[in-house]
Structure 1
Amino acid sequence: MSYPMSPGKSTYRAVIFDIGGAVDLEFAWEMALDGAIASACGMEGIRVDPAMVEEASEQAVAAFAPDVTLHMIETLCGGEPATVARVTRRVEAMTGQLDAFQLRPGIEDLLNRLKARGLVLEAREPRWERLERAGIAELFTCDHDVPPAECILVGDRIDADITPAKAAGMRTIQFRSGRWRRQRPRSAAETPDGVVTDVAELEAAITALVT
């Protein structure tokens, strides 16, 4: 894996985590979503198997689809608008209240170590109660005044995490995990400063920047 290198004395004071994929494994969520898509398609008489769902997922990720679920449904339903709309509604009904948060093994200890080093931690998390139930909400700051040039962003998606963070002037680390593990940059503007696949590599990547 590749790690970012600090250009000299560190100026990085904050680490921003996109919770899904880095802190939250998202394994249970992705399994439930894929199952819901297959079930909803089946209700329309469209028989799909796990390999077909996986292929639809990979196509959506490779296409940098802003709505991966919708892209998958469109692929599996052949793009027929009325069918896509019905399947989408059924999937939303099946998963809308689903709470499948899975704290990544080792990530809580890493967050504590980063906090102990004096780094500000921020969570990009619309459902704060999930972090509270996991017992890690207190490690994060809701709002901070650290400018983007002094921030490191950790996320699993190039399109939704890495690219906008780089455009804002942050350093970026891609955590390859789950559905987006095969997503690759298409240009320098989308290329992260570091790429990791587990918590140990993430700590090494952050350390390379802040030390």
Structure 2
Amino acid sequence: MIRASELVTVFVDADNTLWDTDRVFASTQLRLLHDVEESLGLTWPDEDRLQFVRAADQELASLHHDGLRYPPALLVRALSLALDGMDPVRAAKIALHGSEPAKIYADQEGVILNRYFQSLKALPQLKKGVADGLRQMKELNWNILMVTESAVTRARETADALSISQFFDRVLEGRKRPELYQRILKLVGSPSNAYMIGDQIDRDIAPAKQAGLKTIYFPGGFKPRWHDEEASPPPDFVISDFREAVQIIRLEHAC
């Protein structure tokens, strides 16, 4: 029988750590821009269309009380203003405060948003080494916990579709605060060997470190412009392939 003090517990973030959510979002945002352009009969001339969308997107997220979960209708309105000649950052502020009349009719906006939400349902790809890494962890009898700030049902459905759900002992939903990790560690026996693998320094690594976990940073493709990594506590380890985490933890656990 494995004692609690010997058990290895691994918390793993979901979006952009297990699977590449950012690629789905990028494709969805480009589709949204195309639909707004068609509705207005205007075209953004620059080649870097994603940068154009994300200038407005990041401004909205930085100003809205719900951050990146702001209502996407705001992005539709910001892009419509920006396509008409307004700077994307200013357009986002105007859209948020509703100080300009909408340039797209409500029924057209509804169609655009329906397509947006349908596009977000696309199945993401697993990140490098995830399936093999999880399999190795399970063979080592480690306690593997998926932790997500999205809905548990969505995370489970994605894990099922990507054939990795069998590797997780639990799927947890909640804000990634130190208290979350501490509470779960008590439930699994307060193991001394606990790790967090995540793609965001501020939302994954920092709170886990505050809770006393060792942290493994697996960078994703998306970094919010408002986050200063140099001002945050550095991770204990950095990987470019999920399988590297297995080797790191094995060496740590053997010491």
Task: Pick one of 164, 180, 205 that aligns with 2:223.
Answer: 180
Task: Pick one of 236, 241, 245 that aligns with 1:202.
Answer: 245
Aligned to 1:129: 157
Aligned to 2:127: 104
Cα gap change, 1:70/1:110 in structure 2, threshold over 3 Å: closer, same or farther?
same
- 39-48 or 160-169, larger mean C-alpha shift: 39-48
- 61-70 or 32-41, larger mean C-alpha shift: 61-70
Question: What letter matches 1:112 in structure 2?
Answer: R
Spell out, residue by residue over 1:45-96, the C-alpha distance to the aligned partner (whole angstroms, 9 max, x if none).
Answer: 6643452523664897799943187799454672222459989977643232
Return the TM-score normalized by structure 2: 0.61
Aligned pairs (5 A) from 1:1-211: 13-26=8-21, 28-42=23-37, 43-44=39-40, 47-48=43-44, 49=46, 51-54=48-51, 57=54, 65=62, 66-67=67-68, 73=75, 75=88, 78-79=91-92, 80-81=94-95, 82=98, 92-97=113-118, 98-125=121-148, 126=152, 127=154, 128-142=156-170, 145-146=187-188, 147=190, 150-180=193-223, 185-189=229-233, 191-211=234-254
- Distance (Å, rounded) in 1 between the aligned partners of 2:23 and 2:248: 27
- Distance (Å, rounded) in 2 between the aligned partners of 1:26 and 1:57: 15
Spell out, residue by residue over 1:127-156, the C-alpha distance to the aligned partner (whole angstroms, 9 max, x if none).
Answer: 111111222111101266234864211111
SS of the residue corresponding to residue 178 of structure 1 reads: coil
- Distance (Å, rounded) in 2 between the aligned partners of 1:77 and 1:89: 24
Aligned-residue sequence identity (percent) comes to: 20
Higher relative contact order (CA 8 A, sep 6+): 1
Spell out, residue by residue over 1:70-124, the C-alpha distance to the aligned partner (whole angstroms, 9 max, x if none).
Answer: 7994546722224599899776432324232212343111101111112111112
Return the TM-score normalized by structure 1: 0.71
Aligned to 2:178: none
- 139-148 or 106-115, larger mean C-alpha shift: 139-148
Question: What letter matches 1:130 in structure 2?
Answer: T
- Distance (Å, rounded) in 2 between the aligned partners of 1:13 and 1:124: 16
Is the CA contact (8 Å cut-off) linking 2:159 and 2:165 kept in structure 1? yes
* Number of residue pairs matched by the alignment: 201
- 108-117 or 79-88, larger mean C-alpha shift: 79-88
- Distance (Å, rounded) in 1 between the aligned partners of 2:246 and 2:59: 28
SS of the residue corresponding to residue 179 of structure 1 reads: coil
Cα gap change, 1:63/1:31 in structure 2, threshold over 3 Å: closer, same or farther?
closer
Larger Cα Rg: Structure 1 or Structure 2? 2
Alignment gaps of 5+ in structure 1: 1-9
Alignment gaps of 5+ in structure 2: 79-87, 172-183
Q: CA RMSD in A?
A: 3.9
Spell out, residue by residue over 1:160-189, the C-alpha distance to the aligned partner (whole angstroms, 9 max, x if none).
Answer: 222222233322211112223996523244
Question: What letter matches 1:187 in structure 2?
Answer: A
